[in-house]
Amino acid sequence: MSFWKNKNVFVTGCTGLLGSCLVKELIDQGANVTGLVRDTVPKSNLYQGEQVKQMNIVQGALEDLDVIERALGEYEIDTVFHLAAQAIVGVANRNPISTFEANILGTWNILEACRRHPLIKRVIVASSDKAYGDQPTLPYDENMPLQGKHPYDVSKSCADLLSHTYFNTYGLPVCITRCGNLYGGGDLNFNRIIPQTIQLVLNGEAPEIRSDGTFIRDYFYIEDAVEAYLLLAEKMEELNLAGEAFNFSNEIQLTVLELVEKILKAMDSDLKPKVLNQGSHEIKHQYLSAEKARKLLNWTPAHTIDEGLEKTIEWYKAFFQK
């Protein structure tokens, strides 16, 4: 029997890439899922398929503590996946206040509601590799300081530290995930490099690279991310992991230019990328060590970058044909 059968699970960010895929998997495994939804996003992956008909949807925002407390209480929630965030770096640079309200205030509201709710057994908070900021030594491991400098990175450093506070001060059973750049079918943020590149190539247009193309990033396929989140939540009590942070990663290093060239090759395109050299207020080099997850959770990703990109390209081809 699935660990998740009849568990009462609350998911924030369920119209996003990770949230929509996680919700579907939880429902398929028999969980009773309640999602917090601020904006209706009709094309969201959440609404593709039958699972959405089996979940409860609470309309509201992370900034509204009363809504969160009501949802946890009325739906007798025992597990929380806090995935919602303003997740676009460029938007954060232009709109820092709304980013801080969603990502910092929103996180402390979730944590405070969980602290007051007596049925909570496990809370997973999505931080990010960006929470580490620039580090002189790579790859990032979980013992490195959290030192974001720019609005999005700082918001994630703060959310991460708040989670530690609620464990260390109140004993809240919370774990933190720090993943690389998630990608996969269902991502409708077309200013992200992978969906944007695929969309442009399908339209016969040259892909654009905002930076100088040399930025190194960690790209992590969505199905592997869902498995990682579920495994961590399942093992929290058994392995006494509350208060711990985990990096999840393919542990590959790719420049943005190398990534775009992989996509072009996979799509049999002879288009050449345009390098705009406009990226600013971003971390130059980032990649994660997942050694801790391998050792403590016996976790490994199931997809290579090429396998993940292949499945992602097929999803977008079908999506744009609808």
Catalytic residue numbers, as ranges: 152
Contact assessment for residue 227 and residue 177, using Cβ atoms and an 8 Å cutoff: no
Report the SS3 class of residue 226. helix
Q: Do 120 and 173 form a contact (C-beta atoms < 8 A)?
A: yes
DSSP string, 200-213: HHHTT---EESS-S
Structure tokens at 45: 């992956």
Contacts of 108 (CB under 8 A, 6+ apart): 162
Paired strand residues for 122? 79
Query: Alpha-carbon distance 261 to 166, whole Å?
Result: 43
Joined together, the tokens standing for residue 240 give: 């006494």
Write out the E strands in the chain: 8-12, 32-37, 56-59, 79-82, 122-126, 174-179, 181-183, 208-209, 216-217, 219-221, 245-248, 254-255, 274-275
Sequence-ordered list of residues with C-beta below 8 angstroms from that of 115, at least 6 positions apart, any chain: 166, 170, 172
**Distance between CA atoms of 116 and 172, rounded to whole angstroms?**
10
CA distance 235 to 226: 14
